[in-house]
Amino acid sequence: TYKLPTCPVSLALLSDLHNEDPAPVIASLHSHCPSLICITGDVLYGGKPEDDTSPVASQANVLHFLRSCASIAPTFLSLGNHEWMVDQDDLDLLSSTGVTVLDNEWTSISIDGRKVVLAGLTSGYVTDYRAFRAESDSLVRYPRREDLYGIGGATRASAHKPETTWLSDFAAQPGYHILLSHHPEYWPLLINENIDLILSGHAHGGQWRFFNRGVFAPGQGWWPRYTKGVYEGRLVVSPGLSNTTWVPRLFNPTEVVYLEP
């Protein structure tokens, strides 16, 4: 739990579930009763589905996790790199859980009498794959593109840029601005300075932590800067809810992050 006096609402930050068992997360949410739940992507896990079956439908924990969150508090989801392949049917299925999917868009809500404007910055991996799919003459639902996942996805992360032109319009809206951005490395170079709060994940805490610093993160490389905690009072990075690699997490437990005014 972090105290953030500038934030007008109590919220939970969740990231990088990667289709793991959500039961401990849901129990924590029931215990803390946040007014708002923000999920910064990577609820899914893996590369191209084997038979073009929707990964949203076939990954057993994803829809249950989202429905459970939506039953506790208003829940908003942005798209991370592991959502690179989702199509419109997948987005509709995600939305059917009661969660609001923010796909390079924003919405306004009122919580405890305070106007909050929430936006989701879609991962550049998703943006690039959409362009690839639009140009592909493949008849399969999820055409294969090697550099978006696995070791290729990690080593070419800087090549995948998000769509950011709309952020200035978002920042101009009246109210307190919260941006869900899966990638912490997008800030401060790509994200408007007028945004009050940026919520991120992706770095998995740096995998190994020594002297309160992570060792490696995709998109940031060795000794990354943004891996866990609060930076400059505006960027909050979740260390994630799972481990998706054969390399164990060391001195780096998974976390549900809470922000309190």
Q: Which of 16-30, 81-95, 132-146 has the lowest mean pLDDT?
A: 132-146
Give ∠ CA 103-154-163 in degrees, rounded to 5.
30
Nearest one of 225, 126, 243 to 185, comparing CA atoms: 225
- For residue 120, how far is the Cα from the chain centroid? 9
DSSP the chain: -EE-TT--S-EEEE---TT---HHHHHHHHHH--SEEEE-S--S--SS-TTS--HHHHSTTHHHHHHHHHHHS-EEE---GGGTT--HHHHHHHHTTTPEE-SSEEEEEEETTEEEEEEEE--HHHHHHHHHHHH----SSS---GGGSHHHHHHTGGG-PPP-TTHHHHHTSSSEEEEEES-GGGTTTTS-TT-SEEEE--SGGGSBEETTEESEETTTEES-S-SSEEETTTEEE---S---SSSPPBS-----EEEE-
> Hey, CA dihedral for 60, 146, 206, 202, is it positive or negative?
negative
State the pLDDT confidence band at 11, using cuts at 50, 70 and 90.
very high
Mean pLDDT in residue range 108-117: 91
Phi/psi at 60 (5° precision):
-60, -30
Q: Tokens 């809810």 identify what position?
A: 241
Those residues whose C-beta lies under 8 Å from the C-beta of residue 221, and which sit 6 or more positions away, are none
Taking residues 92-107, report their average pLDDT. Answer: 98
What are residue 106's DSSP bridge partners? 119
The Cα 152–Cα 62 span in angstroms is: 25
Q: What is the pLDDT of residues 184-214, one digit of tens each?
A: 999 988 887 789 999 999 999 999 999 999 9
The dihedral region occupied by 39, where left means phi > 0, alpha psi between -120 and 50, and beta the remainder, is: beta
pTM over 0.85: yes
pLDDT digits (tens, 9 = 90+) for 248-259: 999 999 999 999
Instruction: Of 5-19, 84-98, 123-137, give the lowest mean pLDDT range.
Output: 123-137
Give the pLDDT confidence score for residue 155 in this predicted structure: 53
Range of weakest confidence among 2-6, 9-13, 47-51, 77-81: 47-51
Asked if the model's pLDDT at residue 80 lies above 80, the reply is: yes
Higher pLDDT, 245 or 9: 9
Averaged pLDDT for residues 170-178: 95
Q: For 124-171, how does the pLDDT look when each residue is reduced to its tens digit (9 = 90+)?
A: 999 999 998 998 888 889 888 766 655 456 556 677 889 999 999 999
- What is the mean predicted confidence (pLDDT) over 42-51? 84
Closest by CA to 43, choosing from 246, 253, 242, is 242
